[in-house]
């Protein structure tokens, strides 16, 4: 539950990007519909989860409705570091949503990876990977309007069939000031097909910001294996994070 007013007070929080410079890969609990609420986040933090996301929230509804804010976003003092994931297709709306959650979270994530038909029909999710200029505009607006320089702005994407387009999208996002990029290693049409970890590796090799690998991470061992498949070892391992949603979900039983 959060205040009705849009907060512009500068939030003095640790920069979540620092996690990627800790000397080990970052264990991240993915944004999951119905699962990633406060109670679940509290649970996985007890098992050494480094960073948690909220479920995806429609930014326009969140900005417009107090009821939506009270329903979709609840947090607590120990719920940190926390990233709020939004679905958005308008720069100012995303910026307004980011300003609302800034006092209560450490960053926002723009969902550019959801392949569900309803989301893409509304201009949300994976359709945004084909609109790099719009993604840049949304990232830029948040950067310019949220006063806290430590407030992270990240994006989650899927890959194109032509990987050059994905690399171009990521480079444009990086140039605009995105904090890190999560890459789900499947294209928009793929669901249960094998994850293209080679594509994630190529993306990492072409960028200097942290890259988070996403897709079929079911155990901590999976995360370690994917780390070695997609990136370098040694200190550079700090530049990788892994979603462990299914791994975390097992702990609830």
Catalytic residue numbers, as ranges: 114
Cis omega before residue 197 (within 30°)? no
CA-wise closest residue to 87 among 169, 34, 155, 176: 155
CB 176 within 8 A of CB 132: no
Can you tell me the distance from the alpha carbon of 21 to that of 210, in angstroms, rounded to the nearest whole number?
9
Tokens of 84: 């709020």
Tokens of 37: 């609420």
Can you tell me the distance from the alpha carbon of 88 to that of 95, in angstroms, rounded to the nearest whole number?
10
**Burial classification of residue 232, based on how many CB atoms lie within 10 Å of its CB (0-12 exposed, 13-18 middle, 19 or more buried):** middle
Q: Which helix (H) or strand (E) holds 6?
A: none
78-100 residues labelled b (16+ CB within 10 A) or e (exposed):
ebbbbbbbbbbbbbebbbbbbbb
């Amino acid at each position: 539950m959060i205040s009705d007013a849009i907060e512009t007070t500068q939030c003095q929080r640790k920069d979540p990007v620092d996690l990627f410079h800790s000397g080990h890969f970052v264990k991240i609990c993915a944004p999951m519909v119905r699962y990633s609420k406060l109670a679940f986040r509290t649970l996985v933090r007890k098992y050494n989860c480094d960073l948690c996301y909220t479920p995806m929230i429609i930014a326009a509804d969140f900005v417009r409705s107090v009821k939506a804010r009270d329903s979709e976003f609840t947090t607590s003092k120990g719920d940190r570091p926390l990233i709020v994931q939004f679905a958005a297709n308008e720069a100012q709306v995303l910026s307004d949503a980011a300003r609302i959650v800034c006092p209560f979270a450490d960053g926002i994530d723009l969902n550019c990876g959801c392949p569900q038909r309803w989301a893409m029909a509304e201009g949300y999710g994976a359709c945004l990977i084909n609109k790099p200029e719009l993604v840049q505009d949304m990232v830029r607006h948040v950067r310019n309007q949220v006063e806290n320089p430590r407030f992270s702005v990240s994006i989650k994407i899927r890959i194109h069939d032509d990987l050059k387009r994905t690399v171009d999208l990521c480079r444009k996002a990086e140039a605009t000031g995105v904090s890190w990029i999560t890459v789900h290693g499947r294209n928009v049409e793929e669901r249960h097909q094998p994850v293209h970890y080679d594509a994630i590796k190529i993306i990492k090799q072409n960028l200097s910001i942290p890259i988070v690998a996403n897709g079929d991470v079911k155990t901590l061992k999976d995360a370690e294996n994917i780390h070695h498949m997609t990136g370098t070892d040694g200190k550079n391992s700090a530049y990788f994070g892994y979603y462990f949603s299914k791994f975390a979900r097992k702990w609830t039983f």
